[in-house]
Amino acid sequence: QECSVQLLLENILRSDATSTLLGGQLPIHVINNSQYISPLTASAEVKKTYVGDNLPSLDDAIHTALSDNIKTVMVVGPAGSGKTTALTKLVVGWAKGEHLQNFSYVFHFCLRELNSLDEMFSLETFLSHRHGHFTPEILSLALQEPEKLLFVFDELDQYKHSLDPAVHTLCTDLSQVASEPCLVASLLHGTLLKGATILVATTPTGHLEFLNGTRVEVLGFLKPQRKAYFEEFFTDPASANSALINMERTLGFYNFCTSPRFCWTVCSIYKSLVDAGESLPETLTQMFVSIMVHLIRALSLTEARSRDLVAALGRMASHCCLEQHSSCTKEEMYSFGFQQFLTSQTSVDVFLRVEGDLESDAGAFSFHSQLMQEFSLALSFFMDKSPCQSVKEMLEKHEGRAKFLDLYLAGLSEPTQRRPLEILLGEFNSDRILDFKQWLKSSSQKTLKDFYKDRQLHFFHLLHQCHNPSLVKEIITPSARIGISYGGLGLQDCVALNYVTVCLGEMEQLNLYSTKDFMEEEAESLVPAMALSEKIILSQSSLRTGSIPHLASALRNGRTKELDLSYSHLGDAKLKILCTGLRDCQLLTVCKLTEACCGDLASVLTSQNSQLHVLDLMFNDLGDQGFMQLCQALRSPYCKLQDLELHTCDLTAGSMEALSATLCSGQSELREINLTQNAIGDRGMELLSKSLQHPRCKLQCLNLYDSQLTGGCCAGLSEALKSEHWSLLELDLSVNELGQEGVLLLCEALSRPGCPIEKLGLTRCELTYSVFKELGSLLRGGTSRLKSLSVSLNSVGDQGAKHLWDAIAHPHCLLEVLEVEMLQLTDACVGDLCAAVSASKTLRSLDLRNNLLTNASVPALVQLMEDSHNIYNDFGEDVFEMLDSCSKIRY
Ligand SMILES: Nc1ncnc2c1ncn2[C@@H]1O[C@H](COP(=O)(O)OP(=O)(O)OP(=O)(O)O)[C@@H](O)[C@H]1O
């Protein structure tokens, strides 16, 4: 057995393939040079997370699956993700006695190599044919204990034969002679050597539907693995670090960077550029320009022959794209113009993957990657001197089949990016480049006027690839709608959006509404854009903890004035991190905050350089204790807060003493406070009323909507209203049971000459006819400065409202906005109403919704609106058509 194992190792080591820039490093070289870094595994859902730390390594996942007594393990991953290398490592490790010693024998197959076998075999002959290192005795001994055998099948995706058990008469007997596909299918389906373990590697392919077993998904290399790979590749740590930084900055956001093969290509080309003293590429296009230059130079062709080669590659690329064909026959290669390049002297195998002998007719040719295929297509399009095809036609032709084509065209359309190729191949077709530039400009400008996020982002990607800041400014003019919602961006989108924002130098609004799972990398890539934005919208979003420090850093160093985090369920812990960056920035939150966050907010408010002017904390359970901490902060000489939104914050009268003390201290800059839907009650109002008549109180707006007040609080409040120190301009007492008696007291106080109230809310306050009468005389009296009055939802009918119509017609009345929704008004009042509105010099908005007006009133109302120059109205649903005829009416 030892001798067979030794032979197996020698077999692997003797492989005649070679490492190439695009094809990758030979797996056995990776292993022998200690460059093996275990790739990661991930299920499809976790791929987006980009947090490598807790994902299992591919090797561990395979070993666990194999030791779990599972009989079929399928390693599934994209091309170049490291499947072959991992399997080779596994086989070599077994052969060296390092692991999986529970298997006595391992049979390693590359299924692609079995495609051409058309002989009939018994399993034994088949195995000795493929694994000549086994003596017949050892082989027959081995086959007697199937549970000790491991069959490794690589490149299942390249296997041309069907694995459908219905297609084959599956073998059950070791000596049965069958075709090679039938033997393979019998092994995979366990009818032959039942009990043997099967390990299969493949890209996601149709063959998988016929296999049952454990699936191990290959994710490849995330940042930490790339770092380790670069450190192994570049022996000098400084070179490794600068190369890695360049790759992460310029390419790290593309998904294909998880491919170890791509990492090999990047490292190899970077090394050759560094060795030649050249600078590293800034874009994907530039990187492929460098690769192309490197490969063409290696062939030492003349300029004309190089152009021919590029043209042939372009034709092949177009064919593969359109036919969705990855591999081409020799005949097809001739039709693309490869004749002169299929010789051992001028071999195309540096560009292409060649299966079989280059010079025999059975060979198959394919691009190593879609990236190279599409680059070849883009390059050949610009090299082609014939005028016949426009950019638009070419893009339409390949639409949906080429992911990077227009990206490369964008890159190559820039002279600095294509220059190295022009030196080697001669000038590009300037007409085609001009045509591309015109297409880019006109289609992006058109898209930027629309609201389609994905289309806009696509053009940001193209502009990012062009890497020309003045082009961004030329294309994204002020009329572009770049404030639309870009929520749910991937990392690549974030990078492109950030690029255009930085080129523009400023952004009115960075709208990331409804971003689900805002990741650390995404936030990090957007820091410059966030810092350049006046307003950042992250409402209805969920933010990972790792994203918050980046958001905080953008706020700390940038120009953001408003951050909308409403309904983003931030929570106290994340707010604490965010507080490190809060400066002059309005914060809008319904963020599952509790009392626990108030200490952090208080320290932001009291910090020496605090600039926070507006703080919106609505719908957070701060409670009295939390609010009292904020009140203390409001008295700090450093606190600049002017506007505090505390709608539904679980407050009671218990914290009103602290607020009152703050307002009376004269140290608070607070001008506006919204206490809507908190249980303030009469006791709380009593405390507040005291502060409202205090000479040091600077408050101007107080909202007590639905705050559990009754008529009992009105005496104290009217006392305060009568004070000459009363400073409030706006007071909303709506949805409180104030009743007639209470409000009559308030009306009396409001008529004090000099009373500054301009806006009063008394919606649903149980007002009566007598109150309306008093309000009417108040408005007519010549002392009131009221400009806005809301008395909706008080059932006083036409009679009560008559006092308001009389008032608004009066020259002393200054009302501009009047809300009389649901007063039970009928058609009978419309005459007075129209006369009053016509007479008013100030009224500009009248809300009449949900009254008992019928269609009979509408002609008069429409006429009123037509004649009026400054009034907009709200009406009921029953008069749509007629209302439609008047453009000034909203309903
Ligand atoms: N674990 C690894 N450590 C270092 N380099 C690796 C590793 N795995 C793969 N590579 C590099 O990536 C290249 C491609 O890897 P490999 O051939 O194993 O991928 P694959 O998934 O089998 O691809 P395909 O599906 O195209 O056959 C290798 O040639 C090597 O350069």
The closest residue, in CA terms, to atom 13 on ligand 1 is 261
| Cβ atoms of residues 509 and 533 within 8 Å | yes
**β partners of residue 216:** 75
Closest atom of ligand 1 relative to the 232 alpha carbon: 4
Task: Give the per-residue pLDDT at 891.
Answer: 55
Question: Ligand 1 in contact with 82 (CB < 6 A)?
Answer: yes
| Whole-angstrom distance, CA of residue 218 vs CA of residue 43 | 8
Distance 218 CA to ligand 1 centre (A): 11
- The CA distance from 807 to 815, in Å, is 9
Of 220, 241, 263, the residue at which a domain comes to its end is 220
Q: How remote is the CA of residue 205 from the centroid of ligand 1, in Å?
A: 18
Same domain (yes/no): 169, 208: yes
Q: What stretches in the chain show pLDDT beneath 70? A: 1-16, 43-53, 117, 132-133, 206, 344-346, 357-360, 588, 590, 869-891
3-state secondary structure of 34: coil
CA-nearest residue for atom 17, ligand 1, is: 84
Q: Is residue 38 part of a domain?
A: yes
Using a 6 Å cutoff on CB, does residue 158 contact ligand 1?
no
CA of 817 to the centre of ligand 1 (A): 72
Report the residue among 20, 21, 29, 30 best suited for mutation to probe ligand 1: largest number of ligand atoms under 8 A from its CB.
30
- According to DSSP, residue 404 is labeled S
Helix axes 453-466, 491-504, angle to 10 degrees: 70
Q: Which two tokens stand for residue 354?
A: 């060649």
Q: Measured in angstroms, how far is the CA atom of residue 190 from the centroid of ligand 1?
A: 29
**Distance, CA 5 to ligand 1 centroid (Å)?**
24
Q: Which long-range contacts (CB under 8 A, 24 or more apart) does 8-11 make?
A: 8/91, 8/95, 8/106, 8/108, 8/131, 8/133, 9/92, 9/95, 9/96, 10/133, 11/133
Q: Pairing mode, if any, of strands 562-565 and 586-589?
A: parallel
Q: Is residue 549 part of a domain?
A: no
In short, whether 444's Cβ falls inside 6 Å of ligand 1 is: no
Residue minimizing CA distance to atom 26 of ligand 1 = 79
Does 244 lie in the same domain as 300?
no
8 A C-beta contact, residue 635 and residue 659: no
| CB of residue 574 inside a 6 A radius of ligand 1 | no
Atom of ligand 1 nearest to the CA of 259: 12
- Cα dihedral sign, 749-751-757-760: positive
The CB of 220 under 6 Å from ligand 1? The reply is: no
Q: Write the CB contacts of 5 (distance below 8 Å, at least 6 apart in sequence).
A: 95
Measured distance CA(665)–CA(371) in Å, rounded = 68
CA of 36 to the centre of ligand 1 (A): 10
Note whether 603 and 575 are within 8 A (CB): no
Alpha carbons 521 and 519: distance in angstroms, whole number: 6
Q: Is 83 in the pocket of ligand 1 (CB under 6 A)?
A: yes
CA distance 369 to 404: 12
CA distances from 860 to 221, 831, 879 (A): 74, 8, 12
Q: What is the pLDDT of residue 363?
A: 78
> What single string gives the DSSP state of each residue in 36-90?
--PPEE--GGGGGG--GGGSPBHHHHHHHHHHTT-SEEEEE--TTSSHHHHHHHH
pLDDT of residue 113: 83
The string of DSSP letters for 354-392 reads EES-TTSTT-EEEES-HHHHHHHHHHHHHH-------HH
Is any atom of ligand 1 closer than 6 Å to the C-beta of 370?
A: no
pLDDT value, residue 355: 82
- 594: β partners: 621
Alpha carbon of 86 to ligand 1 centroid (Å): 8
- Nearest ligand 1 atom to alpha carbon 201: 22
Tokens of 526: 């957007």
Partnered with residue 149 across adjacent β-strands are: 105
How far is the centre of ligand 1, averaged over its atoms, from the C-alpha of 431 (Å)? 41
d(CA 3, CA 132): 12
Can you give the length of the chain in residues? 891
> Is beta strand 788-790 parallel, antiparallel or unpaired with respect to 889-890?
unpaired
Is 81 touching ligand 1 by the criterion CB < 6 Å?
Answer: yes
Same domain, 201 and 276: no
Q: Which residues contact 224 (CB under 8 A, 6 or more apart)?
A: 52, 53
Q: Assess if residue 96 is contained within a domain.
A: yes
In a domain? residue 733: no
| Structural domain count of the chain | 3
The CATH number assigned to the domain holding 71 equals 3.40.50.300
CB of 25 sitting under 6 A from ligand 1: yes
pLDDT score for 870: 53
Residues 339 and 243 reside in one and the same domain: no
> 327 and 188, same structural domain?
no
Domain boundary among 378, 408, 431: 431
Question: Same domain, yes or no, for 194 and 333?
Answer: no
Of the three residues 178, 200, 220, the one that is the final residue of a domain is 220
| pLDDT in the model for residue 358 | 64
Q: How far apart are CA 29 and CA 19, in angstroms?
A: 8
Q: pLDDT value at position 150?
A: 94
266 lines ligand 1 (CB under 6 A): no
Distance in Å, CA 327 to ligand 1 centroid: 20
Exposed, middle or buried, 605 (CB in 10 Å: 0-12/13-18/19+)? buried
Q: Whose CA is nearest to atom 4 of ligand 1?
A: 36
pTM for the whole structure: 0.85
Instruction: Report the candidate in 39, 29, 27 with the shortest Cα–Cα distance to residue 75.
Output: 39
Cβ 78 under 6 angstroms from ligand 1: no
φ, ψ for residue 123, nearest 5 deg:
-60, -40
Assigned token pair, 752: 């004090």
Q: Per the domain annotation, does 691 fall within a domain?
A: no
Phi, psi of 736 (to 5 degrees): -135, 145
Residue 262 domain-assigned (yes or no):
yes
Same domain, 137 and 192: yes
pLDDT digits (tens, 9 = 90+) for 694-731: 999 999 999 999 999 999 999 999 999 999 999 999 99
Is 369 touching ligand 1 by the criterion CB < 6 Å? Answer: no
Q: Of ligand 1's atoms, which has the minimum distance to the CA of residue 157?
A: 25
Residue at 587 is within a domain: no
CA 123 vs CA 162, 177, 236, 381, 665: distances in Å: 18, 7, 51, 51, 95
The rounded Å distance from CA 83 to ligand 1 centre is 6
Using the CB atoms, write b or e for 608-635: b if 16+ within 10 Å: eebebebbbbbbbebbbebbbbbbbbbb
Q: What are phi and psi of 535, to 5 degrees?
A: -135, 135
Q: Whose CA is nearest to atom 29 of ligand 1?
A: 24
DSSP characters over 413-479: TSHHHHHHHHHHH----HHHHHHHHHHHHHHHHHHTTS--HHHHHHHHHHHHHHT-HHHHHHHS-TT
User: What's the pLDDT score for residue 317?
Assistant: 97
27 lines ligand 1 (CB under 6 A): yes
Nearest partner of 255 among 495, 466, 516, judged by Cα: 495
Q: Give domain status of residue 825, yes or no.
A: no
For residues 139 and 232, membership in a common domain is answered with no
DSSP state of 143: H
Domain ranges, residue 307:
286-431
Are the CB atoms for 381 and 409 separated by under 8 Å? Answer: yes
Q: Look at ligand 1, atom 3, and give the residue with the nearest C-alpha.
A: 36
127 and 63 share a domain? Answer: yes
Answer for the pair 326, 316: CB distance below 8 angstroms, yes or no. Answer: no
30 and 13 in a common domain: yes
Across the beta sheet with 197-202, the strand order is 40-41, 214-220, 72-76, 197-202, 149-154, 105-110
In terms of C-beta density within 10 A (0-12 exposed, 13-18 middle, 19 or more buried), how is residue 741 classed?
middle
Same domain? For 259 and 169 the reply is no
Number of H helices, E strands in the chain: 35, 26
**Protein residue with its CA nearest to atom 24 in ligand 1:** 79
Provide the pLDDT for residue 53. Answer: 56
| Residue that the structure tokens 């990012």 belong to | 464
* Residue-wise DSSP of 482-526: TTS---S--HHHHHHHHHHHHHHS-EEEEE-TT-SSB-HHHHHHH
- Could you give the count of Cα atoms lying within 13 Å of 729 in the half-sphere of its Cβ? 6
Widest pairwise Cα distance in the chain: 118
Alpha-carbon distance of 85 to 218, in angstroms, equals 12
**Ligand 1 pocket, 203 CB below 6 A?**
yes
Atom of ligand 1 nearest to the CA of 229: 4
CA angle 276, 281, 287 (to 5 degrees): 95
Please tell me if the CB atom of residue 368 comes closer than 6 angstroms to any atom of ligand 1: no
Whether 68 and 212 share a structural domain: yes
